[in-house]
Each structure stands twice: as structure tokens, then as C-alpha cells.
């Protein structure tokens, strides 16, 4: 069950009646359908369980213009992220530099453009659905730090189902400490067996994701069939 529908979720009292209303409306109309930003291969079981609502997976809906088959994140990286002497360098193309040799702050940039860069070895995120799909489409391993809504469920999928990343654990007071981030990054990007498995899975899911949206793929065919039906 999605994490934001659990009884102990602070938003459950609002969201559960809302979802019930939508589902009941869909069940009353036999011609209704639901377009889903996912693919058959990503969530086969979940899609099957709601087959009575006529789900149509047409995703992942991400910007594929940035994808380049020559980019690769399947490489081991040595990490020294939290050493005081460390210096972090960033892409020259990005604007608004602050302390050029130390860090970078930008008002906005294309996340897909960043993720497809060959130097990216891990994507630390809250595991929102769009970002999760972008990580899968680009084959970038994930360090998840979910906060609310569907993020906890997505992080579980990343870590336990697709096995393309790990979830950071907070301490007793809910704080995510630097040592935990370092531990997770070393696990994902290091040369150990777990890191190799994660990177291998990320590469595999990238291929399956692209296959779904390419001509002849499941999402491609589903969208075309839907458009033909409403013409």
C-alpha cells in the first residue's frame, strides 16, 4: 500500500476519502480508463491488481532528448566526500558560480541533463516519482532520503524491488548524519559486491525503460491504442 494511505500517515485522513471518491467514480463508468506514468515492466503486479480500473501505462514520461547511449555510470568511484580538504568542482557550462573551486549554487537546471552526464555516479534524492523515473531512465544509482507522500514507497521500490539504490537511515531524533550519507555512497559507488549489483541493475532498468517507450514497446503501443480509441 502506498505510504501516504497508511492510517498512521498524517495526510491519510484527507487523502483516503479523496482516493475513494476517484476510485468509486471510475468503477461506475465502464468506459473510463487511467493513464499511468509508469510501464508494464516497472510495476507489473500493481497494474494487474487495479485491472478493473482499466489502467493504461504510457511511461515513463521523461525528457529522452538528453539521453545518450555513450554516457555510462557503470564505473567504480573512490569517495572522499567528507574530508575537510576535499574540493568539489562542477560543470563549466552552469551559471551563477559561488566559490568556483568549492561548490555551486544554481537557480534552476535540467535534472535530466545533469543525470545523463558521464561523471554522475549517484543521485541523492527524496524519491519523488518523477525523479525516480528519471533515475531509472538514465541508469543512475540512487541514494534515497524519503520525506512524505509516496516517497517512502518509491524508496522501498528502489532498494528492494528494482534494487537500483539504497535508502539512507536517520538516527533516533530523525536526523540524517553525514556518516550515514558517506556509508551509503560508498556502498553504491564503491567497488564492493553490493555496489556492483546496484550499478548493474541500474543499467538493466535503463534498457527496459527505454524499450517500453520506443516504437513497438509496451508504453508506446498503449498510448497509440488509446489515441486511436478517442479519435
Task: Give domain limits for the chain.
Answer: 17-230
Give the pLDDT confidence of 146-178 residue by residue, as tens digits: 998 889 999 999 999 999 999 999 999 989 999
Mean pLDDT for all residues in the chain: 85
pLDDT beyond 60 at 83:
no
Give the pLDDT confidence of 7-46 residue by residue, as tens digits: 888 888 888 899 899 999 999 998 899 999 999 999 999 9
Secondary structure of 104-156 as H, E, C letters? ECCCCCCHHHHHCCCCCCCEEECCCHHHHHHHHHHCCCEEECCCCCCHHHHHH
Whole-number pLDDT of residue 101: 59
Provide the b/e sequence for 148-175 (b: ≥16 CB within 10 Å): ebbbbbbbebbbeebbbbbbbeeeeeee
CATH assignment, 17-230? 3.40.50
Q: Please, what is the angle between helix 218-230 and helix 193-213, to 10°?
A: 30
Amino acid at each position: 500500500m502506498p505510504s501516504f494511505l497508511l492510517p498512521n500517515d498524517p495526510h491519510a485522513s484527507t487523502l483516503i476519502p479523496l482516493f475513494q471518491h476517484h476510485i468509486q467514480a471510475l468503477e461506475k463508468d465502464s468506459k473510463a480508463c487511467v493513464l499511468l506514468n509508469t510501464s508494464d515492466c516497472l510495476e507489473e503486479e500493481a497494474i494487474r491488481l487495479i485491472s478493473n480500473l482499466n489502467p493504461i501505462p504510457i511511461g515513463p514520461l521523461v525528457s529522452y532528448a538528453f539521453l545518450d547511449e555513450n554516457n555510462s555510470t557503470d564505473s567504480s568511484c573512490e569517495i572522499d566526500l567528507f574530508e575537510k580538504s576535499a574540493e568539489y568542482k562542477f560543470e563549466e557550462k552552469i551559471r551563477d558560480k559561488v566559490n568556483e573551486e568549492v561548490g555551486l549554487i544554481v537557480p534552476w537546471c535540467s535534472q535530466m541533463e545533469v543525470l545523463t552526464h558521464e561523471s554522475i555516479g549517484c543521485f541523492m534524492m527524496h524519491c519523488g516519482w518523477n525523479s525516480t523515473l528519471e533515475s531509472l531512465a538514465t541508469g543512475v544509482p540512487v541514494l534515497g532520503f524519503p520525506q512524505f507522500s509516496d516517497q517512502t514507497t518509491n524508496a522501498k521500490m528502489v532498494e528492494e524491488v528494482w534494487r537500483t539504490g539504497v535508502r539512507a537511515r536517520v538516527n533516533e531524533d530523525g536526523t540524517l548524519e553525514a556518516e550515514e550519507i558517506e556509508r551509503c555512497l560508498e556502498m553504491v559507488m564503491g567497488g564492493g559486491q553490493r555496489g556492483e549489483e546496484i550499478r548493474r541493475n541500474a543499467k538493466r532498468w535503463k534498457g527496459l525503460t527505454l524499450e517500453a517507450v520506443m516504437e513497438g514497446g509496451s508504453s508506446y503501443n498503449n498510448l497509440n491504442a488509446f489515441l486511436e480509441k478517442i479519435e
